[in-house]
Amino acid sequence: MFGLGKCWWCELLPSACEGCACSILRNAREGQGFLILLKGTAEFLALSPGQGTQATEFSFVRFKEESCCAIFTFSQQPAAAPVPAEREFIIDCRSIAALSPLPFPL
């Protein structure tokens, strides 16, 4: 898995993790799937190249209350390889306008 390590830029931000998305992530279970809508956008976030406008399915890893960082993983289909690569996605929960929970795998 690709890891960015410590969320150093989140440490520079105020630690008032308020808002709907932060509250949801504070109580989310590891492995819970989400679609993410960023503030100022009208479409769910799509990170995989060649995916078009199909939203990326993110898997919740953890929430860091002290920095408001939410850590997710997602699968990305590489252009040259048939096997998807797992990537890490770190975001300040205050930048999220909406979360759409996906069914939790059994």
Inter-CA distances, 2 with 75, 76, 84, Å:
11, 11, 12
Per domain, the residue ranges of the chain are 31-101
Range list of H helices, 1-106: 20-26
| Residue 55 CB-density burial (10 A; 0-12 exposed, 13-18 middle, 19+ buried) | middle
Q: What is the Cα–Cα distance from 71 to 92, expressed in whole angstroms?
A: 9
pLDDT at 7 over 90: no
**pLDDT score for 100:** 96
Query: What whole-number distance in Å separates Cα of residue 106 and Cα of residue 89?
Result: 23
Mind listing the pLDDT tens digit for each residue in 33-61? 999 999 999 999 998 766 567 899 999 99
pLDDT number for residue 85: 78
**The pLDDT of residue 70 is above 50:** yes
Q: Which residue do the tokens 């759409």 mark?
A: 100
Tokens (6 digits) for 105: 């795998």
- This prediction's pTM: 0.76
pLDDT value of residue 47: 85
Cα separation, 67 vs 21, in Å, equals 14
